Amino acid sequence: MNTLKSIAVLFCCSILFSNCSSNTDNVNVYVAKYKEDKLCAISYTYDDGMKEHYTLVFPEMEKRKMKGTFWVNGISINIDNEAVRDTGRASWPELKEMAIKGHEISNHGWSHANLTKISPDEVKVEIGKNDSIILANTGIPSRTFCYPYNARNEEVTALASEGRVGTRTRQFAMSYKLSPEDFDRWVNTLLETKDWGVAMIHGITYGYDAFTSPDILWNHFDQVKALEDSIWVGTFHDVGAYLKEFEELECEITRKGSKITITPHLALDKELFNEPLTMVVEEEGLKKVSAIQGEKELTVRSLPGKAMFEFDPYGGIIEVKVK
């Protein structure tokens, strides 16, 4: 985690410093690095708008209540399900259906051009034209970017990053070239290092890097699903935005008796970075925690010795009562 600016925290007349965490009188309060205080995160990303991303991946992820990120090239997506130009590609109505369900449909360049081999003006067209058609057909703006061929340089990265939560700059390629044991090692490493893993997937049963059997991927999903108390599976946008907010958040925390007052401060573009964050309260023998932000009562999830709730980092003062 990046070093954060320290902010003064008053606890019963003593001054402490905090990066949105504090520990006093056996009560530990902190903002979780990942949603619901999970150990690590995985974003499954799929390149090129393949038809089977809709017919196969979408239902399999929905079945497990997972959300994915689908990077598309507008030039190759079918306009509708009637006038199909490329049977290997998805259609805009199909992608819109996925977007409505909470999956991320995002920018992979208009024509999958290598952006390091064209002019800056052409790069802007590749990015802007694709942004426009994604918004027009899904109703949701594209806030992330995936470099075609994973090719980028400093100038391309600057252009692709403008007005976005983030761009895909690292990835773990999942394909026929790796075994299920390789996938297991990747997941175990993420759990050990508490890192964010970004999977890159292309073909499922056909096309570039397709698996020898789709069951390899579905079985992997099942194994990750079984670890859902420890692994957050979220879209590239959602995990990227959460982590940026976590890194930049500052808090003032005061405590008087059983009442904890938390004032979050976040100086980011709210239009881009608007993911709720998770606050955690820990204390041995903790019985009950209630939390209110403004006039809104927050939903608190209680576990043995621990409670957590989601809050709006721009929403003002949070009042927490501990029993």
Residue 81 DSSP one-character state? S
Same domain, 27 and 103: no
Task: Compute and round to an integer the Cα radius of gyration of the chain.
Answer: 22
235 within some domain: no
Strand locations in the chain (E) = 7-11, 14-18, 21-24, 27-31, 40-47, 69-72, 104-107, 144-146, 166-168, 172-173, 196-201, 231-233, 250-256, 259-265, 277-282, 289-293, 296-298, 300-303, 306-311, 318-322
- Assign residue 222 the CATH number of its domain: 3.20.20.370
Q: Is residue 309 part of a domain?
A: yes
CA nearest neighbour of 47 among 77, 69, 71, 67: 71
Number of structural domains, the chain? 2
Considering the domain architecture, whether residues 290 and 168 belong to the same structural domain is answered as: no
pLDDT tens figures, 238-258: 999 999 999 999 999 998 888
One domain, residues 22 and 125: no
pLDDT tens profile 245-301: 999 999 999 988 889 999 999 999 999 999 999 999 998 888 899 999 999 999 999
Does residue 241 lie in a domain region? no
- Assigned domain for 65 exists: yes
Verify that 209 and 280 share a domain, yes or no.
no
Q: Are residues 217 and 285 in the same domain?
A: no
- Last residue of a domain, which of 191, 210, 228? 228
What number of helices (H) and strands (E) belong to the chain?
Answer: 8, 20
* 144 in the same domain as 195: yes
Per-residue model confidence (pLDDT) at position 55: 98
Q: Are residues 15 and 156 in the same domain?
A: no
Where residue 16 falls among pLDDT bands split at 50, 70, 90?
A: very low
Domain membership of residue 296 as a residue range: 7-38+257-322
Find the mean pLDDT for residues 97-123.
98
Same domain, 84 and 173: yes
In a domain, 250, yes or no: no
Q: Taking residues 115-135, what's their average pLDDT?
A: 98
Nearest by Cα to 291 from 317, 314, 266, 265: 317
Same domain (yes/no): 219, 190: yes
Is the pTM value of this prediction over 0.85?
yes
User: Are both 31 and 153 inside the same structural domain?
Assistant: no
Last residue of a domain, one of 185, 208, 228: 228
53 and 80 inside one domain: yes
Do 31 and 158 fall within a single domain? no
Sign of CA dihedral 154, 158, 161, 166: positive
Last residue of a domain, one of 187, 212, 228: 228
